[in-house]
Structure 1
Amino acid sequence: MHRHNVMLVNGYRISRYALRQLLEATGEFTVTEAATSAEAGAHTAIAPELLLIDISNPAKSGLEALCDLKHDFPDLPCLIVGGLDDDTLRNHYLRLGCHAYLSRDASDQAILQVACKLTARKHISGNHVASQHCLTRAAPEVPHMPHIDLSARERQVFFKLTSGKSIPSVARELLISASSVSVFRCKILRKMHCSNNAELISYAFRHRLVND
Protein backbone atom coordinates (compact mmCIF):
# COMPACT_ATOMS: atom_id res chain seq x y z
CA MET A 1 0.00 0.00 0.00
CA HIS A 2 1.33 3.41 -0.99
CA ARG A 3 1.82 5.78 1.94
CA HIS A 4 1.60 9.47 1.13
CA ASN A 5 4.49 11.52 2.48
CA VAL A 6 3.33 14.65 4.31
CA MET A 7 5.62 17.52 5.26
CA LEU A 8 4.22 18.88 8.54
CA VAL A 9 5.40 22.35 9.57
CA ASN A 10 4.70 23.89 12.97
CA GLY A 11 6.79 25.44 15.74
CA TYR A 12 5.06 23.64 18.59
CA ARG A 13 6.30 20.10 19.22
CA ILE A 14 3.06 19.03 20.91
CA SER A 15 0.99 20.25 17.92
CA ARG A 16 3.22 18.37 15.50
CA TYR A 17 2.92 15.24 17.65
CA ALA A 18 -0.88 15.39 17.69
CA LEU A 19 -1.17 15.90 13.92
CA ARG A 20 1.41 13.22 13.20
CA GLN A 21 -0.45 10.71 15.36
CA LEU A 22 -3.73 11.62 13.64
CA LEU A 23 -2.34 11.12 10.14
CA GLU A 24 -0.15 8.07 10.69
CA ALA A 25 -2.86 6.21 12.61
CA THR A 26 -4.77 5.83 9.33
CA GLY A 27 -1.95 3.85 7.74
CA GLU A 28 -2.15 6.10 4.68
CA PHE A 29 0.47 8.70 5.58
CA THR A 30 4.11 9.01 6.56
CA VAL A 31 4.87 12.32 8.25
CA THR A 32 8.10 14.31 8.18
CA GLU A 33 8.17 17.04 10.84
CA ALA A 34 9.74 20.48 10.59
CA ALA A 35 9.63 23.25 13.18
CA THR A 36 10.22 26.00 10.61
CA SER A 37 9.94 26.58 6.87
CA ALA A 38 13.75 26.68 6.67
CA GLU A 39 13.97 23.27 8.32
CA ALA A 40 11.37 21.92 5.90
CA GLY A 41 13.35 23.22 2.93
CA ALA A 42 16.48 21.47 4.22
CA HIS A 43 14.86 18.04 3.86
CA THR A 44 16.14 17.72 0.29
CA ALA A 45 16.18 13.91 0.32
CA ILE A 46 12.44 13.75 0.98
CA ALA A 47 9.80 14.04 -1.74
CA PRO A 48 6.62 15.10 0.05
CA GLU A 49 3.22 14.89 -1.61
CA LEU A 50 1.48 17.37 0.69
CA LEU A 51 2.46 20.40 2.75
CA LEU A 52 0.50 20.62 5.99
CA ILE A 53 1.16 23.91 7.77
CA ASP A 54 -0.22 24.42 11.26
CA ILE A 55 -0.37 28.20 11.79
CA SER A 56 -1.50 28.07 15.42
CA ASN A 57 1.97 29.25 16.50
CA PRO A 58 1.73 33.07 16.76
CA ALA A 59 5.53 33.52 16.78
CA LYS A 60 5.68 33.83 13.00
CA SER A 61 3.26 34.97 10.34
CA GLY A 62 1.58 32.01 8.69
CA LEU A 63 1.49 33.91 5.41
CA GLU A 64 5.25 34.42 5.57
CA ALA A 65 5.74 30.70 6.24
CA LEU A 66 3.43 29.80 3.35
CA CYS A 67 5.39 31.99 0.93
CA ASP A 68 8.69 30.48 2.09
CA LEU A 69 7.37 26.95 1.57
CA LYS A 70 5.71 27.68 -1.77
CA HIS A 71 9.07 28.99 -3.00
CA ASP A 72 10.77 25.73 -2.01
CA PHE A 73 7.87 23.42 -2.95
CA PRO A 74 6.00 25.28 -5.71
CA ASP A 75 4.15 22.28 -7.14
CA LEU A 76 2.88 20.70 -3.93
CA PRO A 77 -0.71 20.95 -2.72
CA CYS A 78 -0.87 22.75 0.60
CA LEU A 79 -3.27 22.43 3.53
CA ILE A 80 -3.39 25.17 6.17
CA VAL A 81 -4.81 24.30 9.60
CA GLY A 82 -5.03 26.08 12.94
CA GLY A 83 -6.00 29.61 11.90
CA LEU A 84 -8.98 31.77 12.76
CA ASP A 85 -12.36 31.07 11.24
CA ASP A 86 -12.11 34.30 9.31
CA ASP A 87 -13.03 34.80 5.66
CA THR A 88 -10.47 37.55 5.09
CA LEU A 89 -7.58 35.40 6.34
CA ARG A 90 -8.90 32.37 4.46
CA ASN A 91 -8.93 34.41 1.27
CA HIS A 92 -5.34 35.60 1.81
CA TYR A 93 -4.09 32.02 2.15
CA LEU A 94 -6.03 30.73 -0.83
CA ARG A 95 -4.85 33.56 -3.08
CA LEU A 96 -1.22 32.97 -2.06
CA GLY A 97 -1.27 29.34 -3.11
CA CYS A 98 -2.74 27.08 -0.46
CA HIS A 99 -5.38 24.62 -1.63
CA ALA A 100 -7.42 24.32 1.55
CA TYR A 101 -7.73 26.30 4.77
CA LEU A 102 -9.23 24.73 7.92
CA SER A 103 -9.71 26.82 11.04
CA ARG A 104 -8.45 25.85 14.49
CA ASP A 105 -11.81 24.33 15.45
CA ALA A 106 -11.83 21.90 12.51
CA SER A 107 -12.49 18.28 13.45
CA ASP A 108 -9.96 15.48 13.10
CA GLN A 109 -12.22 13.97 10.46
CA ALA A 110 -12.22 17.18 8.43
CA ILE A 111 -8.40 17.32 8.45
CA LEU A 112 -8.13 13.69 7.36
CA GLN A 113 -10.77 14.10 4.66
CA VAL A 114 -9.04 17.09 3.08
CA ALA A 115 -5.56 15.53 3.38
CA CYS A 116 -6.82 12.40 1.62
CA LYS A 117 -8.42 14.41 -1.17
CA LEU A 118 -5.34 16.53 -1.75
CA THR A 119 -2.89 13.62 -1.81
CA ALA A 120 -5.21 11.49 -3.98
CA ARG A 121 -5.46 14.24 -6.59
CA LYS A 122 -1.73 14.86 -6.48
CA HIS A 123 -1.05 11.12 -6.86
CA ILE A 124 -3.45 10.74 -9.77
CA SER A 125 -2.69 13.89 -11.72
CA GLY A 126 0.91 14.61 -10.72
CA ASN A 127 -0.01 18.26 -10.54
CA HIS A 128 -2.05 20.73 -8.53
CA VAL A 129 -5.49 19.75 -7.36
CA ALA A 130 -8.24 20.99 -9.65
CA SER A 131 -9.85 23.55 -7.36
CA GLN A 132 -9.41 24.59 -3.78
CA HIS A 133 -13.02 25.69 -3.60
CA CYS A 134 -14.30 22.13 -3.54
CA LEU A 135 -12.19 21.43 -0.46
CA THR A 136 -12.71 24.46 1.75
CA ARG A 137 -15.38 27.11 2.11
CA ALA A 138 -14.60 29.86 -0.37
CA ALA A 139 -14.13 33.36 0.99
CA PRO A 140 -15.96 36.30 -0.57
CA GLU A 141 -14.43 37.87 -3.63
CA VAL A 142 -12.25 40.88 -2.83
CA PRO A 143 -10.62 43.49 -5.07
CA HIS A 144 -7.30 42.55 -6.63
CA MET A 145 -4.32 43.45 -4.43
CA PRO A 146 -0.85 44.21 -5.84
CA HIS A 147 1.08 41.82 -3.57
CA ILE A 148 -0.55 38.95 -5.47
CA ASP A 149 1.43 39.99 -8.58
CA LEU A 150 4.81 39.59 -6.87
CA SER A 151 7.03 36.67 -7.83
CA ALA A 152 7.56 33.82 -5.37
CA ARG A 153 10.88 35.28 -4.16
CA GLU A 154 9.47 38.81 -4.02
CA ARG A 155 6.61 37.59 -1.85
CA GLN A 156 9.12 36.08 0.58
CA VAL A 157 11.02 39.36 0.82
CA PHE A 158 7.79 41.38 1.06
CA PHE A 159 6.48 39.46 4.07
CA LYS A 160 9.83 39.59 5.83
CA LEU A 161 10.18 43.33 5.29
CA THR A 162 6.64 43.99 6.46
CA SER A 163 7.33 42.02 9.64
CA GLY A 164 10.06 44.57 10.42
CA LYS A 165 13.15 42.60 9.41
CA SER A 166 16.21 44.43 8.11
CA ILE A 167 17.81 43.75 4.74
CA PRO A 168 20.79 41.89 6.31
CA SER A 169 18.39 39.79 8.38
CA VAL A 170 16.31 38.89 5.33
CA ALA A 171 19.49 38.01 3.43
CA ARG A 172 20.65 35.66 6.18
CA GLU A 173 17.26 33.98 6.40
CA LEU A 174 16.95 33.42 2.65
CA LEU A 175 20.66 32.58 2.17
CA ILE A 176 21.11 35.25 -0.47
CA SER A 177 23.20 38.42 -0.57
CA ALA A 178 22.05 41.71 0.94
CA SER A 179 22.43 43.32 -2.50
CA SER A 180 19.99 40.76 -3.93
CA VAL A 181 17.49 41.60 -1.19
CA SER A 182 17.89 45.29 -2.04
CA VAL A 183 17.14 44.55 -5.71
CA PHE A 184 14.04 42.58 -4.75
CA ARG A 185 12.98 45.40 -2.44
CA CYS A 186 13.20 47.92 -5.29
CA LYS A 187 11.08 45.69 -7.51
CA ILE A 188 8.53 45.22 -4.73
CA LEU A 189 8.27 48.96 -4.08
CA ARG A 190 7.71 49.59 -7.78
CA LYS A 191 5.07 46.90 -8.18
CA MET A 192 3.32 47.90 -4.95
CA HIS A 193 3.41 51.62 -5.84
CA CYS A 194 5.13 52.36 -2.53
CA SER A 195 8.02 54.70 -1.74
CA ASN A 196 9.55 53.02 1.32
CA ASN A 197 9.27 50.20 3.86
CA ALA A 198 6.90 52.23 6.03
CA GLU A 199 4.37 52.30 3.21
CA LEU A 200 4.76 48.56 2.67
CA ILE A 201 4.14 47.95 6.37
CA SER A 202 1.13 50.25 6.33
CA TYR A 203 -0.29 48.30 3.37
CA ALA A 204 0.27 45.00 5.17
CA PHE A 205 -1.48 46.14 8.34
CA ARG A 206 -4.32 47.75 6.39
CA HIS A 207 -5.05 44.47 4.63
CA ARG A 208 -4.37 42.24 7.68
CA LEU A 209 -1.35 40.54 6.12
CA VAL A 210 0.76 40.68 9.28
CA ASN A 211 0.20 39.78 12.92
CA ASP A 212 -1.00 42.65 15.11
Structure 2
Amino acid sequence: MVSDHKVRRRRYEDEIKASADAWRNKICGNIAKDNFNITQCIKVLTQNSWIRSYDTRQYHELRVRFYNQGRCQPFAYVEHNPTILYCDHEVWSEACIGEPKARFILAHELGHVLLHDHYAQPFTENLKRSAWMKEESGEWQANTFADYFLVSDVAIERYLTPTAIAIYCGVEKIVALRRLGPGFGYVGESCERCGNFTLVRNGRSLICDTCGQTTSC
Protein backbone atom coordinates (compact mmCIF):
# COMPACT_ATOMS: atom_id res chain seq x y z
CA MET A 1 0.00 0.00 0.00
CA VAL A 2 2.96 2.35 -0.53
CA SER A 3 3.42 2.96 -4.27
CA ASP A 4 1.06 2.52 -7.16
CA HIS A 5 1.44 0.23 -10.17
CA LYS A 6 -0.11 0.05 -13.56
CA VAL A 7 -1.64 -3.40 -14.01
CA ARG A 8 -1.87 -5.15 -17.34
CA ARG A 9 -5.61 -5.79 -17.07
CA ARG A 10 -8.01 -2.89 -16.70
CA ARG A 11 -10.83 -3.74 -14.32
CA TYR A 12 -13.99 -1.74 -13.75
CA GLU A 13 -15.80 -1.41 -10.45
CA ASP A 14 -18.65 -3.82 -11.24
CA GLU A 15 -16.15 -6.53 -12.21
CA ILE A 16 -14.14 -6.03 -9.02
CA LYS A 17 -17.35 -6.11 -6.96
CA ALA A 18 -18.34 -9.43 -8.54
CA SER A 19 -14.90 -10.84 -7.83
CA ALA A 20 -14.95 -9.66 -4.19
CA ASP A 21 -18.43 -11.11 -3.63
CA ALA A 22 -17.44 -14.44 -5.18
CA TRP A 23 -14.22 -14.74 -3.18
CA ARG A 24 -15.94 -13.76 0.10
CA ASN A 25 -18.55 -16.42 -0.47
CA LYS A 26 -15.96 -19.03 -1.38
CA ILE A 27 -13.51 -18.25 1.41
CA CYS A 28 -15.87 -17.35 4.26
CA GLY A 29 -18.53 -19.89 3.35
CA ASN A 30 -21.23 -17.48 4.52
CA ILE A 31 -21.73 -14.30 2.52
CA ALA A 32 -24.17 -12.89 5.11
CA LYS A 33 -21.59 -12.97 7.92
CA ASP A 34 -20.50 -9.37 8.33
CA ASN A 35 -17.60 -8.96 10.77
CA PHE A 36 -15.66 -12.07 9.76
CA ASN A 37 -12.07 -12.86 10.75
CA ILE A 38 -9.99 -11.88 7.74
CA THR A 39 -6.89 -13.69 9.01
CA GLN A 40 -8.92 -16.90 8.88
CA CYS A 41 -9.79 -16.09 5.26
CA ILE A 42 -6.10 -15.81 4.47
CA LYS A 43 -5.38 -19.08 6.25
CA VAL A 44 -7.98 -20.76 4.01
CA LEU A 45 -6.00 -19.59 0.98
CA THR A 46 -2.82 -21.09 2.47
CA GLN A 47 -4.57 -24.46 2.73
CA ASN A 48 -6.18 -24.63 -0.73
CA SER A 49 -4.67 -24.38 -4.22
CA TRP A 50 -7.02 -21.67 -5.48
CA ILE A 51 -4.56 -19.08 -6.82
CA ARG A 52 -3.65 -19.45 -10.48
CA SER A 53 -0.27 -18.44 -11.85
CA TYR A 54 -0.54 -16.21 -14.91
CA ASP A 55 2.62 -17.82 -16.34
CA THR A 56 2.15 -21.55 -15.76
CA ARG A 57 -1.66 -21.56 -15.45
CA GLN A 58 -1.13 -23.89 -12.50
CA TYR A 59 -2.99 -23.43 -9.22
CA HIS A 60 -1.11 -23.03 -5.97
CA GLU A 61 -1.54 -22.08 -2.31
CA LEU A 62 -0.84 -18.66 -0.86
CA ARG A 63 2.24 -18.37 1.33
CA VAL A 64 2.39 -15.97 4.29
CA ARG A 65 5.58 -14.55 5.80
CA PHE A 66 5.81 -12.25 8.84
CA TYR A 67 8.29 -9.53 9.74
CA ASN A 68 8.69 -6.67 12.21
CA GLN A 69 8.05 -3.44 10.34
CA GLY A 70 11.03 -1.13 10.17
CA ARG A 71 11.30 2.49 9.19
CA CYS A 72 9.92 3.17 5.68
CA GLN A 73 8.65 -0.40 5.38
CA PRO A 74 5.01 -1.05 4.40
CA PHE A 75 2.49 -2.64 6.74
CA ALA A 76 2.14 -5.52 4.27
CA TYR A 77 2.91 -6.31 0.62
CA VAL A 78 2.61 -9.09 -1.95
CA GLU A 79 5.11 -10.79 -4.24
CA HIS A 80 4.22 -13.13 -7.11
CA ASN A 81 5.67 -16.29 -8.64
CA PRO A 82 5.04 -17.80 -6.14
CA THR A 83 2.40 -15.65 -4.47
CA ILE A 84 3.60 -14.59 -1.01
CA LEU A 85 1.90 -12.20 1.40
CA TYR A 86 4.37 -10.44 3.69
CA CYS A 87 2.79 -8.90 6.78
CA ASP A 88 3.95 -7.05 9.87
CA HIS A 89 3.37 -9.08 13.05
CA GLU A 90 1.47 -6.27 14.77
CA VAL A 91 -0.86 -5.69 11.81
CA TRP A 92 -1.68 -9.41 11.71
CA SER A 93 -2.35 -9.49 15.47
CA GLU A 94 -4.63 -6.44 15.28
CA ALA A 95 -6.52 -7.93 12.34
CA CYS A 96 -7.03 -11.12 14.35
CA ILE A 97 -8.95 -9.16 17.00
CA GLY A 98 -10.93 -7.17 14.42
CA GLU A 99 -9.15 -3.79 14.37
CA PRO A 100 -10.71 -1.99 11.35
CA LYS A 101 -7.57 -0.45 9.83
CA ALA A 102 -5.65 -3.73 10.06
CA ARG A 103 -8.56 -5.63 8.50
CA PHE A 104 -8.59 -3.18 5.59
CA ILE A 105 -4.82 -3.53 5.09
CA LEU A 106 -5.14 -7.30 4.75
CA ALA A 107 -8.24 -7.04 2.53
CA HIS A 108 -6.31 -4.64 0.31
CA GLU A 109 -3.43 -7.10 0.02
CA LEU A 110 -5.90 -9.88 -0.75
CA GLY A 111 -6.96 -7.73 -3.69
CA HIS A 112 -3.38 -7.80 -4.95
CA VAL A 113 -3.18 -11.57 -4.33
CA LEU A 114 -6.40 -12.39 -6.18
CA LEU A 115 -6.40 -9.76 -8.94
CA HIS A 116 -2.78 -9.10 -9.87
CA ASP A 117 0.48 -10.65 -10.99
CA HIS A 118 4.15 -9.73 -11.30
CA TYR A 119 3.62 -7.85 -14.57
CA ALA A 120 2.46 -4.73 -12.71
CA GLN A 121 4.60 -1.78 -13.77
CA PRO A 122 5.86 0.50 -10.98
CA PHE A 123 5.51 4.24 -11.40
CA THR A 124 8.44 5.99 -13.07
CA GLU A 125 8.78 9.65 -13.95
CA ASN A 126 7.56 8.90 -17.48
CA LEU A 127 4.65 6.79 -16.30
CA LYS A 128 3.60 9.50 -13.85
CA ARG A 129 3.23 11.90 -16.76
CA SER A 130 1.19 9.47 -18.83
CA ALA A 131 -2.60 9.48 -18.74
CA TRP A 132 -3.84 6.51 -16.75
CA MET A 133 -7.40 5.48 -16.19
CA LYS A 134 -8.05 4.76 -12.52
CA GLU A 135 -9.14 1.25 -13.58
CA GLU A 136 -5.49 0.59 -14.54
CA SER A 137 -4.20 1.45 -11.06
CA GLY A 138 -3.22 -1.52 -8.93
CA GLU A 139 -3.88 0.44 -5.74
CA TRP A 140 -7.33 1.59 -6.87
CA GLN A 141 -8.25 -1.97 -7.80
CA ALA A 142 -7.01 -3.35 -4.46
CA ASN A 143 -8.80 -0.63 -2.47
CA THR A 144 -12.04 -1.22 -4.38
CA PHE A 145 -11.73 -4.97 -3.82
CA ALA A 146 -11.22 -4.40 -0.08
CA ASP A 147 -14.31 -2.16 0.18
CA TYR A 148 -16.56 -4.75 -1.42
CA PHE A 149 -14.90 -7.74 0.27
CA LEU A 150 -15.40 -6.26 3.76
CA VAL A 151 -18.87 -4.76 3.25
CA SER A 152 -21.44 -6.77 1.29
CA ASP A 153 -24.62 -5.43 -0.28
CA VAL A 154 -26.53 -7.45 2.33
CA ALA A 155 -24.81 -5.48 5.09
CA ILE A 156 -25.60 -2.16 3.39
CA GLU A 157 -29.29 -3.06 3.28
CA ARG A 158 -29.26 -4.36 6.86
CA TYR A 159 -27.51 -1.51 8.66
CA LEU A 160 -28.30 1.54 6.47
CA THR A 161 -26.21 4.19 8.28
CA PRO A 162 -22.42 4.74 8.03
CA THR A 163 -21.89 4.31 11.78
CA ALA A 164 -23.85 1.07 12.00
CA ILE A 165 -22.10 -0.35 8.94
CA ALA A 166 -18.71 0.58 10.40
CA ILE A 167 -19.53 -1.05 13.76
CA TYR A 168 -21.12 -4.27 12.53
CA CYS A 169 -18.79 -4.83 9.57
CA GLY A 170 -15.60 -3.96 11.45
CA VAL A 171 -14.47 -1.18 9.09
CA GLU A 172 -13.58 2.48 9.38
CA LYS A 173 -16.43 4.91 8.71
CA ILE A 174 -14.79 6.16 5.50
CA VAL A 175 -15.10 2.64 4.08
CA ALA A 176 -18.79 2.57 4.95
CA LEU A 177 -19.29 5.94 3.24
CA ARG A 178 -17.51 4.73 0.09
CA ARG A 179 -19.76 1.68 -0.02
CA LEU A 180 -22.88 3.78 0.41
CA GLY A 181 -21.73 5.70 -2.65
CA PRO A 182 -21.92 9.31 -3.83
CA GLY A 183 -25.72 9.27 -3.72
CA PHE A 184 -25.76 8.88 0.06
CA GLY A 185 -26.65 11.90 2.16
CA TYR A 186 -28.41 12.97 5.33
CA VAL A 187 -31.91 14.37 4.97
CA GLY A 188 -31.00 17.78 6.42
CA GLU A 189 -33.22 17.66 9.51
CA SER A 190 -32.07 17.50 13.12
CA CYS A 191 -32.63 14.51 15.37
CA GLU A 192 -35.26 15.09 18.08
CA ARG A 193 -33.14 13.20 20.63
CA CYS A 194 -29.54 14.38 20.08
CA GLY A 195 -30.00 17.42 17.83
CA ASN A 196 -27.49 16.29 15.19
CA PHE A 197 -28.23 16.66 11.48
CA THR A 198 -27.47 13.00 10.80
CA LEU A 199 -30.85 11.52 9.91
CA VAL A 200 -31.01 8.82 7.23
CA ARG A 201 -34.24 7.89 5.50
CA ASN A 202 -35.43 4.27 5.76
CA GLY A 203 -38.72 3.92 3.96
CA ARG A 204 -41.26 5.90 6.00
CA SER A 205 -38.89 6.28 8.96
CA LEU A 206 -35.78 8.29 9.79
CA ILE A 207 -32.78 6.82 11.61
CA CYS A 208 -30.20 8.97 13.37
CA ASP A 209 -26.65 7.98 12.49
CA THR A 210 -25.42 9.54 15.73
CA CYS A 211 -27.71 8.18 18.47
CA GLY A 212 -29.72 5.49 16.65
CA GLN A 213 -33.11 7.10 17.30
CA THR A 214 -35.82 5.95 14.85
CA THR A 215 -38.77 8.23 14.14
CA SER A 216 -41.70 8.03 11.74
CA CYS A 217 -41.86 10.53 8.90
The two structures have a TM-score, normalised by structure 2, of 0.25
Higher relative contact order (CA 8 A, sep 6+): 2
The two structures have a TM-score, normalised by structure 1, of 0.25
Q: Tell me which protein shows more helix as a share of its residues.
A: 1
Higher Cα radius of gyration: 2
